[in-house]
Structure 1
């Protein structure tokens, strides 16, 4: 056979004891031609293993004959085929509930499986026990014997060590990563049962955090008495500086006017997962907004967190509003949190005596608030939020001229991206605000309109005691850094002071471009009031650059 070991294109033919056995053998052989005798011999050995796995455990190679210089015939005897394997086990080694996942015939003493599926069944059991803290578990079936003419039986032997738990968590690369996020956001803790697949699944969620990402799969170091988990992370640039320049025609003067804002967001600079936002906005309606917000999650390594907000708004020389909120929230898991807090509002009438109006008054208001929030992040840099839902209710009083008025407020917002395929998606956003009250003041009405509300209208130019806005976009991603989208917005609002009920619409298009400096956005939108003619002069162009540092 030495000379034949160097031959090329050898052929192998398989023969059984009868036509039925030969047909079975033909169905098992994938390649009848081989480069050398060694690979041909390997195929014969592989065929024997396949036969045993399908139930022909008594199969044997009778002989291998050389037909000619380039062809061989292997003669097999398949013997009796056995269909099922009855495996006896101990309840102390494995649970009956786990066995029911691989067998429909499970008793307190044994379980039955088809012989053809026995290998995959044992692999599944091995994986399940490994994920339950037994990474070094091994299985084997001993004392295999005939149960009857078509079935076999044997004993399941499981060799295990003590259950493994995560004894230590070591972070490499970004050693300052906030440990509270490991415990509460990822739900990876010391002394929990070791499950590498589950840990890998959890650490992938890290990439959805704005301030960190995983640079390498987690690794495990096993010693005799401990299990150490190594995570490889990198701190990401998550601070942003955002601004936009908008311009359009003033309907009264027919002159071009400008508006804009600056938005600074600082994330995780202290390595606690905290965030600090500062917003200053000035627009064409002589409106000024100053807003500062601090969010402190997982205080003292607990699920509790605090959110603090200060908002100051000035409407030309008409009024100012100072709004302060403080919330204590509980993070149920990485996506859901509930909160309760207090909201204090104070407004001052700036009109002089000649301009005084009964609709604008000094007032103070206080509310107790409760909210539910759901946030699902993704690792997509262009579209980091897959879905969001918020509902908040407030109960309180508004006081002016020593008169208390009971009020209830409801705020809601939800948005979601529906991915049609890798390039096409649909974005839908719905938000609104309602005040329930027997009387209203102009300076307590809700303000909306603009790039972050219904597009095509001036910033905060609309006042309402009730409003709801629908934003929709069809998005097409040209590549991973450029996308274009449509703008189709609709809104309904009510102003109980002036007895106004109107429907609004916004139409346009936009694009987003990820540059080295950050995310550049350009939107063109035209605002339209129901039953009023379309005017190009109502169009707004919004330009913004969200720079990361």
Structure 2
């Protein structure tokens, strides 16, 4: 069956043809539905007076209908009551809002009413309805006017109860302070859905499906569907390379254990032990307890012990409180105490002395996850911390300050290609320096191609870059281009470092296995294959 629709003149014919209505139909019912659809579309375009003639049968396969468009109304004046709609809402949809009416384009009537209704719903009226009434013409110019009616069939709705399904032991403090959903809150389903999406920034829970609501006569119950996810990790790496002095193969590595939310409190515990090729050993443990006593404040405690061969030991202790602003932003503040002791009976060269420091610190963290990506679960991170205090050594006291920053982001070019860029910097500001208080960097977690913690500095900045190509959801290959600048005022060194290499990662049943090959050099030296480093690591979730 072929359908032909015309207007009252050639101009109206062009308007109807521009709608690109369906002309070929299998039965008469489909044909009549299409004519109704065309007429409704014309209503929305402003031809509210259009008149449709009866469908005529021309022959067994052809049908004809005529729709007279008549006058097109481009604007409409809508009168409203201030008790029903606030003028500030109307200003988002109209540039001409007055005390008792506003003006909009007729083609925007449907979207405008939907917007106003959504804003009324946000105030706790989920069943409100809007309609235009008393539509009429005003004046000799036939200005189109209407009255906006708002129908609310009940009192304002608030959340009376929150029920968690799937992961019933999900910490309630996270609902109140992390998601910021709590009883007595005005009910707004759209805002609730936006808030529960923030669960994607938690590594120990995820959302099974969108929230649902049960409305009864006197109460509103919100249902959240969550599941507990594997969040414990065991991480380690093995590195080996040739010692420049002995030409012998040397190994180094570390073990890093992270336990998260095992008590269903949202807590985390980390234990690190590292031994590297420079006869340096590090033991570190820290614990984070969020939302203490159901408050928005948590606490972080850390203990770190570092020993360098037979030269010195350094112990760091810190206690910080943190405040979770929202799912991605966190503030820190606290105190860091350090004590270092020289193990040398006599000090012939480097200035290694006993000292104690105390710092007051403040910090900020931004963290954005991408939980659907098993290879790269963290998309962006930014952490900045600064501390102010003093160092006591040999009956002297000296004011000092520290600054540190660690930030990275993954720039996704498409589903397979991405670029990873990381910036890491730290600075110790002081009039004098001791070797055992200098910052240590180098290795797989800083500039690759150099021995672990082999570089000492009072100031350094480095950049790590990788081009990554994902062969599939479980395998990727990457380039390595690193650069760094550091200063060591004790040794009077200002040096630039470079590193180049490649690597790959494979997600196995045991975890994520990473292989990195990198060759490092300073600014004035040539590349030597003997300086290359191979780093292996395996991160297991359980």
Query: Which bracket does the TM-score occupy, shorter chain normalised?
Result: over 0.9
Residue in 1 that maps onto 2:423: 430
Quote the offset at 1:490 in angstroms: 1.1
Please point out which of 285, 301, 304 is paired with 2:297.
Answer: 304
Residue in 2 that maps onto 1:6: none
Residue in 2 that maps onto 1:84: 75
Tell me if the contact between 1:84 and 1:150 (Cα under 8 Å) persists in the aligned partners.
no
Residue in 1 that maps onto 2:98: 107
Tell me if the contact between 1:513 and 1:520 (Cα under 8 Å) persists in the aligned partners.
yes
Please point out which of 341, 354, 359 is paired with 1:362.
Answer: 354
Tell me if the contact between 2:130 and 2:150 (Cα under 8 Å) persists in the aligned partners.
yes
Tell me if the contact between 2:201 and 2:328 (Cα under 8 Å) persists in the aligned partners.
no
Pair 534,58 (structure 1): closer, same or farther in 2 beyond 3 Å: closer
Pair 136,283 (structure 1): closer, same or farther in 2 beyond 3 Å: same
Q: What CA distance in whole angstroms lies between the structure 2 residues aligned with 1:18 and 1:432?
A: 74
Deviations 1:1-54, CA, capped at 9 Å, x for gaps = xxxxxxxxx122223333333333333451112111111121222233223222
Residue in 1 that maps onto 2:165: 172
Q: What CA distance in whole angstroms lies between the structure 2 residues aligned with 1:442 and 1:217?
A: 56
Please point out which of 394, 414, 437 is paired with 2:407.
Answer: 414
Quote the offset at 1:217 in angstroms: 1.3
Residue in 1 that maps onto 2:525: 532
Quote the offset at 1:169 in angstroms: 1.4
Residue in 2 that maps onto 1:156: 148
**RMSD in angstroms over aligned alpha carbons?**
1.8
Q: What CA distance in whole angstroms lies between the structure 2 residues aligned with 1:76 and 1:443?
A: 90
Residue in 1 that maps onto 2:210: 217
Residue in 1 that maps onto 2:368: 376
Is the deviation greater in 453-462 or in 392-401? 392-401
Is the deviation greater in 458-467 or in 373-382? 373-382
Residue in 2 that maps onto 1:13: 4
Quote the offset at 1:531 in angstroms: 0.7
Secondary structure of 1:63's match? coil
Quote the offset at 1:358 in angstroms: 5.9
Q: What CA distance in whole angstroms lies between the structure 2 residues aligned with 1:56 and 1:372?
A: 58
Is the deviation greater in 474-483 or in 211-220? 474-483
Residue in 2 that maps onto 1:3: none
Quote the offset at 1:98 in angstroms: 1.2
Residue in 1 that maps onto 2:253: 260
Tell me if the contact between 1:296 and 1:307 (Cα under 8 Å) persists in the aligned partners.
yes
**Unaligned 5+ residue runs, structure 1?**
1-9
Quote the offset at 1:356 in angstroms: 5.4
Please point out which of 285, 305, 320 is paired with 2:313.
Answer: 320
Tell me if the contact between 2:483 and 2:499 (Cα under 8 Å) persists in the aligned partners.
yes
Tell me if the contact between 1:63 and 1:76 (Cα under 8 Å) persists in the aligned partners.
no
Please point out which of 325, 337, 348 is paired with 1:332.
Answer: 325
Quote the offset at 1:92 in angstroms: 0.5
Residue in 2 that maps onto 1:69: 60
Pair 438,120 (structure 1): closer, same or farther in 2 beyond 3 Å: closer
Determine whether 1:126 maps to 2:117: yes
Secondary structure of 1:184's match? helix
Pair 76,233 (structure 1): closer, same or farther in 2 beyond 3 Å: same
Q: What CA distance in whole angstroms lies between the structure 1 residues aligned with 2:202 and 2:481?
A: 30
Q: What CA distance in whole angstroms lies between the structure 2 residues aligned with 1:532 and 1:358?
A: 25
Q: What CA distance in whole angstroms lies between the structure 2 residues aligned with 1:79 and 1:210?
A: 62
Quote the offset at 1:539 in angstroms: 0.6
Deviations 1:467-506, CA, capped at 9 Å, x for gaps = 2222111122222222211111111112211212211111
Pair 320,59 (structure 1): closer, same or farther in 2 beyond 3 Å: same
Deviations 1:423-475, CA, capped at 9 Å, x for gaps = 22222212222222222221111111111111111111111122222211112
Tell me if the contact between 2:442 and 2:450 (Cα under 8 Å) persists in the aligned partners.
yes
Quote the offset at 1:381 in angstroms: 2.9
TM-score (norm 2): 0.95
Deviations 1:383-431, CA, capped at 9 Å, x for gaps = 2222222222222222222222222222222222222222222222122
Deviations 1:213-237, CA, capped at 9 Å, x for gaps = 1111111111112211111111010
Q: What CA distance in whole angstroms lies between the structure 2 residues aligned with 1:310 and 1:491?
A: 28
Is the deviation greater in 74-83 or in 238-247? 74-83
Quote the offset at 1:357 in angstroms: 4.8
Pair 395,83 (structure 1): closer, same or farther in 2 beyond 3 Å: closer
Tell me if the contact between 1:291 and 1:311 (Cα under 8 Å) persists in the aligned partners.
yes
Please point out which of 432, 435, 438 is paired with 1:445.
Answer: 438
Residues matched between the structures, number: 539
Deviations 1:355-381, CA, capped at 9 Å, x for gaps = 655612222222222222222233233
Residue in 1 that maps onto 2:505: 512
TM-score (norm 1): 0.94
Is the deviation greater in 281-290 or in 119-128? 119-128
Q: What CA distance in whole angstroms lies between the structure 2 residues aligned with 1:57 and 1:98?
A: 27
Tell me if the contact between 1:297 and 1:304 (Cα under 8 Å) persists in the aligned partners.
yes
> Following TM superposition, where does structure 1 have runs of at least 4 consecutive aligned residues deviating by more than 4 angstroms?
355-358
Is the deviation greater in 427-436 or in 318-327? 427-436
Q: What CA distance in whole angstroms lies between the structure 2 residues aligned with 1:58 and 1:337?
A: 59
Q: What CA distance in whole angstroms lies between the structure 2 residues aligned with 1:530 and 1:479?
A: 37
Determine whether 1:189 maps to 2:175: no
Pair 437,16 (structure 1): closer, same or farther in 2 beyond 3 Å: closer
Pair 497,117 (structure 1): closer, same or farther in 2 beyond 3 Å: closer
Determine whether 1:462 maps to 2:455: yes
Quote the offset at 1:260 in angstroms: 0.9
Q: What CA distance in whole angstroms lies between the structure 2 residues aligned with 1:218 and 1:449?
A: 47
